[in-house]
Structure 1
Amino acid sequence: MWLNESENELRRDLQSVASDLRWSAVELLRLADQLRHAGNDADAQAAMRLCELFQGDEQRLAGYAEEVKAKAISRNKAH
């Protein structure tokens, strides 16, 4: 099925934000590792919890993007 311009924009936006969250989680994991090696376990654990939140949000947004592609979610063109 073809997506209209608004739906394509929505899908791209969802994929973009999901990608941003993925890379933010990667960076937070790197920082958490550095914190752990520096002996700051409390902050390392806090960063790990944020990573888990980001990863869950990334997966949810990626799922929404797939729903847009499957036409389960649509956006009508604004007038």
Structure 2
Amino acid sequence: MPLTKPNQQLRRDFKSIAYNLEQHCIDLGRLASRLCDEDAIALMRLVGSHYEDIDTLAGYAREVKAGRIVRGKLD
């Protein structure tokens, strides 16, 4: 069954936010390579948590596509 326009937009939003987070992680990784070890490790921990969030958003996008998450009408 094809997605409704609101659900298509929801899926695009999840994918777009995940992509933006991934780009930020890449930039932060480059920055971490220029820091002292202790600061770099702390920054990479933050990057790791962002990658977990990226995986979560990608999972939500798949659930929207499968019809398990739907955007309803706002009251």
Fold match, TM over 0.5? yes
Q: Is the 8 A contact 1:7 1:74 kept in 2?
A: yes
Match of 2:70 in 1: 74
Say which of 51, 55, 60 aligns to 1:55: 51
| Structure 1 segment 36-55 matched on structure 2, within 5 A | 40-55=36-51
Unaligned runs of 5+ in 2: none
What fraction of aligned residue pairs are identical, expressed as a percent?
45
| Structure 1 segment 10-25 matched on structure 2, within 5 A | 10-25=10-25
Structure 2-normalised TM-score? 0.92
Aligned residues: 75
Partners of 1:59 and 1:20 lie apart in 2 by 13
Q: Is the 8 A contact 1:28 1:51 kept in 2?
A: yes
Unaligned runs of 5+ in 1: none
Partner secondary structure for residue 34 of structure 1: coil
Q: Is the 8 A contact 1:18 1:61 kept in 2?
A: yes
Structure 1-normalised TM-score? 0.88
